[in-house]
A and B are shown apart, each in its own frame.
Chain A
Amino acid sequence: EIVMTQSPATLSVSPGERATLSCRASQSITSNLAWYQQKSGQAPRLLIYGASTRATGIPARFSGSGSATEFTLTISSLQSEDFAVYYCQQYNKWPLTFGGGTKVEIK
């Protein structure tokens, strides 16, 4: 199965600053990558699919980039509601696999 590795595990950021989250795949997944946001006690919410396409209703401050094995989620100016855990997930090959998550916390 394809192993997804996220870094860092925790990211401390001040409100208004930029956050950059990384996700690496153990083999090429072309652009078949999604990003999710999960807040405490809630189900995950799709942010990005196709590595760079924002899902419906997702603010423009969220952007995704990358292809093959290296991917990035950027939050351009962190808002209070953005502090959460973020997961990447590949859907290039089954089984679907997730990264271990990056927790974005208030600095």
Chain B
Amino acid sequence: QVQLVQSGAELKKPGSSVKVSCKASGGTFSPYSISWVRQAPGQGLEWMGRIIPILDIADYAQKFQGRLTITEDKSTSTAYMELSSLRSDDTAVYYCAKGDWLAPWGQGTLVTVSS
């Protein structure tokens, strides 16, 4: 059964970028999509975007258009989420998750944006 393992916590300055990885362990993503979901401190879940590896297609929530890039490396079964022009309100835990109904989830990556 596939598990999703994410990269570690990040501390970033406002205006910089962050790239978080999500590696499938014990299997591959295919043929499912991989979504990225974030959760600000004390808040709910917010879907950011997804990639469909077998189609090499990514799409993004309108809110993140132009700032978010989701990619994947099929050779290593790893998906990446890169968010640019970081602001303090991007401070959140970022999760990857597989499929339309999301399971499994990665363990989460805390991204802190602070000067």
Which residues of A are interface residues toward B (Cβ below 8 A)? 32, 34, 36, 43-46, 49-50, 55, 87, 89, 91, 94-101
Contact = CB atoms under 8 A, between A and B. Distances in A.
Contact of A95 (B47, B107, B108): B47
Contacts of B47: 95-98
A43 B44 CA distance: 12
B36 to A, nearest CB: 11
Interface in B28-66: 35, 44-47, 50, 59, 61-62
Contacts, number: 51
Contact of A34 (B95, B102, B104): B102
21 contacts: A36-B102, A43-B95, A43-B105, A43-B106, A43-B107, A43-B108, A44-B102, A44-B105, A46-B102, A46-B103, A49-B101, A49-B103, A50-B101, A55-B103, A91-B100, A94-B59, A96-B35, A96-B47, A96-B102, A98-B45, A100-B44
Counting chain A CB atoms within 10 Å of each CB, the highest count among B35, B103, B108 belongs to: B103
A101 B104 CA distance: 19
Chain B: interface residue count, which band? 20 to 34
A89 B77 CA distance: 26
Contacts of A45: 103, 105
Contacts of B106: 43
Interface string B78-102: 0000000000000000010100111
Contacts of B95: 43-44
